Structures are given as structure tokens and as C-alpha cells.
Amino acid sequence: MEIGKVPESVLKRSVLKQLKTKREEVILGSGVGEDCGALELKEDEIFVVSTDPITGTAKEIGNLSVLITVNDLASSGAEAIGILLTVLLPDQTKEKVLREIMEQVNAACDSAGIQVIGGHTEVTAAVNQPLVSVTGIGKVKKGRLISTAGARPGMDLIVTKWIGIEGTTIIAREKEEELRQVFPEAYVKSMCDMSEYLSVQKDGVIAAAAGAAAMHDITEGGVFGALWEVSSASGVGLDVDLSRIPIRQETVELCDHYKLNPYGLISSGSMLIAAENGLKVVRALEEAGISATIIGRTTSGREKAIHYDGQIRYLEQPKTDEFHKVLG
């Protein structure tokens, strides 16, 4: 395809035709020439909005772009309704690539029960690989909005599933052939298949109902970055047991191979939660088939302490995600 807006014929057959999921709240959705989408909500509901680009990988970019945005909405306790999607493609991209991205988007939207409300698709020399940026729109009942800043001293800190899920699966998919020279094929496949755990949509709904005071999807900067952000936003200190932070062996092996710190690795699929009664939240999650672990507590001070093997270290401000050491 040539530089410029995607032609109407391509837009119809490779973009709009792929989008099948609909929501009753959407009264104006995706269409040729439509610059806006429109929603109608009830009087006691609040709009919640989030936005994120996917730039670190070309594989599964359509799927990841939807999942990450739905995860962000879930961390506020909101139900995702729809997304606005911007797709930027390099010069001379084949139409097949665009269609594949939109098929991934539709599959992810169908799984999450959301609709593509609108967006923009363009071929441009400003990018050298596909770039997808998503703005998500959700709703939550008044009085039930949860923020990163909701933690208070003396609360339990909980991590769902395992850290490093997103970083492990992206690196494994991008470096699959290389990794097969080091690990058994079945083990590499297990790394790639961790993508099935990337959603925290269910985690958020259950934790919110069980009394979560703060929730944060663990993304760039990994669990250390998420802990720092919850601490800073809420004005609380931390007392965390490193040995209790859940991590799969596949992530340990991958990080050892590339000399990465797994605690600083992008971890969508895992949620950090603060709650007065951590055991209640853990039980509710586990009853729904989601593993969860209490890793520490918030404190009234400002120190962000991490305990391990009888020693104490203190969190530093988040740096560049470990992910970029492998994929740039």
C-alpha cells in the first residue's frame, strides 16, 4: 500500500469487515467518513478512558493492543465497552498485514466483549514497523471507581498469577528460533503460550467486588515499577517479601539466558492489588481459578523496603524496562 490514508475499498474489506462485535451503548460506531464515536450510558455510570500504544513487537500486535487497554480499564474497576484504534503502517506494507492485525483486534474484542467504535488507518514513512495505538472507553458505577492512589497504610499487597507474563511471551515469540537452540521445543512453546494469561479483566472484576482499594496492571517497569507507582500515588511505604512474588520457571530461565531482571520486566497479565483484607481477595480470586499471592504490606512511612534472604534493599525509581535490552 502507498503512503497516505488507507483507500476506502481497503478500509471496507480489510478493516470494517473484520469488526463484528457490537455493544448496545454504542449509538455511533466505526464507518467510512466517521470521525467520532458516540456512547449512551445510564445516569449512575461514569466514563473511564485509557490509552496505550504497542511499539515493542510486530507479532500479535492487534491482540496485545486490545488486551493492554482492557487491562488498564479493569485496574480501575471499570467494564470495557469499546476502543478507538489508530493503525500506522510503514510504506509498502502489504494489505494482508493490515487484515491480519484487524482479525487479531476483532478476536480480542470478541473475547473481551467490546466494540471498535472508530479510529484511523494510515500508511506513513514515519514508522518502520506497524504501530497500533488504542484508546479504551469503559464504564463503572458511581462510587465504585478504583485508582492506583487508593492504597492506605496497613493494607495487604497482592499479585495475581505471575510476574513477567507479557515480557516472556513477547520475547519468546520474537526470538523463537534462537531460543530453540538453547531450550527444548516444548519449553519454548510453553513460554510463547503464556500469552493466554495476558488478560486481567476477570482479575479486576473479582478483586473490586472483594474489597480492593487500589489496583494497578503491572506493565512497563515490571513489578518493581508497579510497586513504586502505587507507593508514590498513594503516599505510602512498602514492606515486601521478594521470595513471595510469584514467577514461573519459564520466565526465570528466559531472564537468565538474556541476563534480565525479571522484577523489572513488563508484566501485563498480572495485577498488583492493595486491600484491607488480602486473604478475602486471594480466596475470591482463587475460587475463580486465578492464582494470587500476598507479597507484603503498605506502611505509614516512605521507605519502599524489599526483604530477601535476611537482607533489605530499597526500591529505586523505575528505569527502562528490561524488555528493551532484548528487543530494543
Largest interatomic CA distance in the chain:
65
- Residue 39 confidence (pLDDT): 79
**What fold does the segment set 4-141 form as a domain?**
60s Ribosomal Protein L30; Chain: A; (3.30.1330)
pLDDT digits over 150-176, tens only? 999 999 999 999 999 999 999 999 999
User: Taking 70 as the threshold, does the pLDDT of residue 34 lie above it?
Assistant: no
Binning pLDDT at 50, 70 and 90, where does residue 57 land? low
User: Taking 80 as the threshold, does the pLDDT of residue 55 lie above it?
Assistant: no
Predicted TM-score (pTM) of this structure: 0.88
Domain residue ranges in the chain: 4-141, 148-327
Q: Has domain 148-327 been given CATH number 3.10.620.30?
A: no
How far is residue 86 from each of residues 10, 57, 69, 89, 105, measured CA to CA in Å?
15, 16, 13, 10, 12
Which residues contact residue 21 at a Cβ distance below 8 angstroms, ignoring those fewer than 6 apart?
106, 109, 110, 113, 114, 115, 116
Task: Determine the average pLDDT of the residues in 274-300.
Answer: 98
- Do the domains spanning 4-141 and 148-327 agree at the CATH topology level? no
Task: HSE, CB side, 13 Å, CA atoms: give it for residue 103.
Answer: 9
| Mean pLDDT taken over the chain | 92
Binning pLDDT at 50, 70 and 90, where does residue 108 land? very high
Residue environment code for 26-47, b if the CB has 16+ CB neighbours within 10 A, otherwise e? beebbeeeeeebebeeeeebee
N- to C-terminal Cα distance for the chain? Answer: 27
- Residue 178 confidence (pLDDT): 95
Task: HSE, CB side, 13 Å, CA atoms: give it for residue 26.
Answer: 22
pLDDT digits over 65-76, tens only? 999 999 999 999
| Cα–Cα distance measured from residue 261 to residue 321, given in angstroms and rounded to the nearest whole number | 9
Q: Indicate the Cα dihedral angle 7, 8, 9, 15, nearest 10°.
A: 90
Binning pLDDT at 50, 70 and 90, where does residue 56 land? low
| Cα–Cα distance measured from residue 23 to residue 35, given in angstroms and rounded to the nearest whole number | 19
